[in-house]
Every structure is written in C-alpha cells, then in structure tokens.
Amino acid sequence: MRVSVDLGLCEDHGQCAIAAPAVFRINDDGKLEYDAEPADSELENVEEAADVCPVQAILIAG
Amino acid sequence: MAVVGGSLAGLRAAEQLRAAGHQGPVTVFGDEPHLPYNRPPLSKEVLADRTRDTAALMHERLAFRRRASVDDVTFRLGQAVAACDLTARTLTLPDGDTASFDGLVIASGLRPRRLRLEGPQRGRHVLRTIEDCLALQASLAEPSRVVVIGAGFIGCETAATLTSLGHEVVVVEPTGPPMNRVIGSALAGAIQAHHEAHGIRFVIGPGVRGLTGDGADVARTASAADLAAAGDRVTGVLLDDGSTIEADVVVEAVGSVCNTEWLAGNAGLDLTDGVLTANDLAVLGAERVVAVGDVARFPNPMFDEVARRVEHWSMPTDTAKRAARTLVAQLGGQAPDPTPFAPIPSFWSDQFDLRLQSYGSPGLADEVTVEEGDLADLPAGVLTRHTRAGALVGYLAVNLPGARQRDLRDAFVALAPSA
C-alpha cells in the first residue's frame, strides 16, 4: 500500500495520528510525519485516518 | 439498499454497507447535483479562494475520496426524494419515478434554518452548499458591509474569513457571546474579545426584526407590510431595540432544520427532531431502516440515556460504521450486536489565528474550568475542562499542538461503557 498526504492541504490536525498511530505521527514541532509504504495490515487504520482527516489530504493507492 | 442523502453521511453509509459485507446493489439519492463533497472549507479557505469561481472548480477542490468498494454504487443526484412508504418499501422521486428497496439508510441531513424576515430578499445568504458559497462570493466583489446573523460556529468562521478578506463585519446574536451554548460563557467571552481585536463587531442581545431595503426609508415603527414593501435589495438589518445596522450583504447562520419531510406519513416514526433511533441506529418504529449523520437522534451511553442529534463533522463517519452493521444484520436475520455504541464526539473550528478542537460534549457541562493557559492569551494555547455534576463531559482546546490531541481524546475512550 502507498500512502501520500497532500502537504499543501494538511493543517496538522493530528486526527490521522489517532486513527493510525503506526503510520502517522505529529512530531515535537507539531508537524506531520508518516510512513509512505506501510504494511498492508495497516489498511483498515489508514482508511480510517483518510476518512477522519478534516481537510481530506490523505490518499491511498494499491 | 437505498441511501437517502448524498453528502458525507450518504457516502460513508455506502462505503460501510460494503465493509459490513453487503454485496447487492446500493443506490445513493442526493438532492444536490454534485457527488459528495466536504463542506467545512466553504466557510473558510474555499470562501477566501477567489480562483475557484465555478461550481465545477469548487467541487474539484472539495470532492470526497470514494473508496474503491463503492465504484459500483449508483448515485442518483439532483433531486430530493419526495416521499417514502416504509411498509411498501418504496421511494418516490419528484418526477414521479419510484424505487423499491430492501433496506434503507436515512442520511438526509440538514438544511439551513431561515429567518422569517420581512423586507428585501436580495442580499440575503446562507452558507451550506457550493452554490451558497459561490453566491456569497459573487455578492462580495468589493469591500462590503456584512452582517452575520448568528454567532455559532458557522457564523463565527464566516465572519472571521470575511473580516480577513477586508470586509466590514458585524455579528448579531441575541443569546450571548459567540458559541457560548457549546463552549461556555467564559471561553466565549474570551473569543469575542479576541475577534473584536481582529476587527469583528459583535452586537449581543437584541434580536433581528427585519431588513431594510433600497426602495424605501423604513421607520422604526414600520409595520410588517411596510417592511415587505421596502425595496428590493438589503441595505440594513433592523434590530428589535430599534437600531439599524447598515449592510450590503446579510448572512444568516442561525442553525439548521432536519430534512425529514420525505418520511412524513409513516406511522410509528418519531420525527420531532431528526429521526429517533435506538443506540445501534436502528430507526424506532420501523424495520430494516437505520439513520446516520446529523439527522440521527440516538442515545450515547458515554453521557446518559438521552437521545440527541450531534451536528459534528465526525458523526457521519462514526454512525455509518455502526448503522451499516445494524442494517446488514437485520437483513441477514442475524442477532444485533450488543456492544454499546458510544462514539466520541469531536469537532474543530478555525477562526483567525485560533483553532478550536473539542472532544466529548462540552455543551452538556454545568461547570467549566481552565486547565491550561490564560483566557486573555488564547493564541498561546488554552485548555478548558467541561464537567457535569463533577464528571468529565468535554474538553475544549484552543491552539494546543496536534501532538496533544490523542491524550484529550483518550480521556473519553476510558469513559466508553463495555458490553
């Protein structure tokens, strides 16, 4: 699975880091960091993260 | 499966029906001409973006990602379902066409409440759809005097955005400082002071009596008939203390009305405020019918036994997940899942340099305490704790970093009842 975040849209709400903490993280500077190629076992969490992103910045492929 | 409502709740319902194992046909009926799109930016960044000046361009920016599992879902857009017969299990469309269903998801949501105001109609706006946003933008070609009626979240966001764009904005609210019903009066007062420092003028207390127009001078003692005859285009807002605020544009942000008229005539439903459901979102008084999103009135055992509608952006996604499982189980003749449904309400709101983030139901509180920060310096970060009879019911964070969100939310995970 490939994950991408449109950083032009991202506003660091942090909801993705709650839904899929193994993939998304808000660092100490308050900025998003994420794993662009997480294991397929994370799919459900990543779908949840994409659903709850207030600015709908998360894209999932394959 | 029929899903009535083509916004976030309708989309999530379709996706979750698939996730719950439903493989048969799904049709989503939406009254707007667009595939489901994200509404919150309409009062914020999209309202401020003058480059997306057509419905197509605006929709391109706002359209929701749709899961691949709904590629075969039919979206019938552009007309609202007119009627529904839950005994015959049929929907009727305005063109007379009918559609039958085995299971129904009610996802028909809300529309803006309109004030019954005499006087001119041109220059009056609401903000819920792409078309609303385009109409408001078009009316604001030059720096304008704007009166926003209603200091709830949409009113405050709209006022902040328009002030930032250079318009002169007055917010009129009869009930108290901005958003006070939800966030408590101390924080509301602090936000009012912050917004006033950024240029919004608030008129708190008087109600709105009418609108003045460009066709006639309207005396303070004008009768309703005189007001109705007054001109064509809004020139001001007449308050019930007798004063008038001049305005080129009026935005009404006074709450919502549930879209449930299409369900009228079905005995047994409680449609007094949305659609009353059981905790698992099964509609009471009907079979094989669930409700999701803003329109679903359900009890959340995290707080109490009282059924409430929750108009937060997070609610369609949370309710669709549970409602789809309830409906698929009913259709399959399986026993309902006994696990209590206890979603954690959350919302955010961006206003000037402030981000409000809420978890729980702060509006239920009888006491609010400032846990962190100083109400006189909101941008530096403030956390308020909202309790009812001493028990935590909500947190409201202003400008707290994203890394803090998880802990605030986890406080409510701990409150969720178990089966």
Question: Does the domain at residues B2-111+257-331 carry the CATH identifier 3.50.50.60?
Answer: yes
If DSSP states are collapsed to H, E and C, what string results for B73-138?
CEEEECCCCCEEECCCCEEECCCCCEEECCCEEECCCEEECCCCCCCCCECEECCCCHHHHHHHHH
Within chain B, all domains assigned CATH 3.50.50.60 are found at 2-111+257-331, 114-252
How far, in Å, are B120, B204, B213, B384 from residue B174 at the CA level? 22, 5, 22, 25
pLDDT tens figures, B179-203: 999 999 999 999 999 999 999 999 9
Closest in B12, B314, B403 to A30, CB measured: B403
The two tokens of residue A7 are 């950083």
Name residue B184's amino acid: G
How many angstroms separate the first and last alpha carbons of chain B? 29
Nearest CA to B204 out of B218, B190, B189, B194 is that of B189
- The residue in chain B having the minimum alpha-carbon distance to the alpha carbon of residue A47 is B67
From-to residues of CATH 3.30.390.30 in chain B: 353-413
d(CA A6, CA B397): 25
ipTM strictly over 0.90? yes
The reported pLDDT for the residue numbered B274 is 98
Write down the pLDDT at residue B403: 84
pLDDT at A61 over 90: no
Q: What's residue B224's pLDDT?
A: 58
With a cut of 80, say whether residue B221 has pLDDT above it.
Answer: no
Q: Is the pLDDT of residue B152 over 60?
A: yes
Summarize pLDDT for B39-66 with one digit per residue, the tens: 999 999 999 998 988 999 999 999 999 9
pLDDT, position B402 = 83
Query: B317, A51: Cβ pair inside 8 Å?
Result: yes
Q: Which residue did the predictor score with more confidence, B214 or B111?
A: B111
pLDDT of residue B141: 76
- A59 at B interface, C-beta within 8 A: yes
Q: What is the pLDDT of residues A22-46, one digit of tens each?
A: 999 998 888 899 999 999 999 999 9
Supply angle C-alpha A19, B107, A47, rounded to 5.
20
Please give the residue of chain A at the shortest CA–CA distance from B359.
Answer: A15
Tens digits of residue pLDDT in B283-295: 999 999 999 999 9
- Cβ of B402 within 8 Å of Cβ of A52? The answer is no
Whether the pLDDT of residue B116 is over 80: the answer is yes
* CATH of region B353-413: 3.30.390.30
Q: Output the pLDDT for position B419.
A: 55
Write the DSSP symbol of residue B51: T
Query: Rounded to 10 degrees, what is the CA torsion of B378, B197, B175, B226?
Result: -160
Q: Is residue B216 over pLDDT 60? A: no
Using an 8 Å Cβ cutoff, are A43 and A51 in contact?
no
B402 close contact with A: CB closer than 8 A: yes
What confidence tier does B102 reach under pLDDT thresholds 50, 70, 90? Answer: very high
> In this predicted model, what pLDDT tens digit does every residue of B257-273 receive, in sequence order?
999 999 999 999 999 99
How far, in Å, CA of B156 to CA of B6, rounded? Answer: 26
A22 in contact with B at a CB cutoff of 8 Å?
A: no
* pLDDT at residue number B401: 87
**B104/B102 Cα distance (integer angstroms):** 7
Name which of B38, B65, B157, B317 to mutate to probe chain A: the one with the most chain A Cβ atoms within 10 A of its Cβ.
B65
B346 vs A contacts (CB less than 8 Å): 15
The per-residue pLDDT for B331 is: 97
With b meaning 16 or more CB within 10 Å and e meaning fewer, what string describes B381-408? ebbbbbbbeeebbbbbbbbbbbbbbeeb
Interchain CB contact of A6 with B (< 8 Å): no
Domain ranges for chain A = 2-61
Interchain proximity A32–B409, CB inside 8 Å:
no
Domain A2-61 sits in CATH 3.40.440.10: no
Would you say residue B378 has pLDDT above 70?
Answer: yes
For residues B162-191, one letter each, b for 16 or more C-beta atoms within 10 angstroms of the residue's C-beta and e for the rest, the string is: bbbbebbbbbbbbeebbbbebbbeebbbbb
Mean pLDDT within B394-399: 97
The helix/strand/coil state of B324 is helix
Pick from B65, B313, B401: CB nearest A50? B65
What pLDDT is recorded for position B118? 77
Kindly indicate the confidence band of residue B142, based on its pLDDT and cuts at 50, 70 and 90: confident
Helix (H) or strand (E) segment spanning residue B289: strand B289-291
pLDDT of residue B214: 81
CATH class entry, domain B114-252 = alpha beta
Statement: residue B236 has pLDDT above 70: yes
Q: Identify all chain A residues contacting B405, using CB atoms and an 8 Å cutoff.
A: 13-15, 17-18, 26
Q: Tell me what pLDDT residue B119 has.
A: 79
Question: Is residue A28 less than 8 Å (CB to CB) from chain B?
Answer: yes
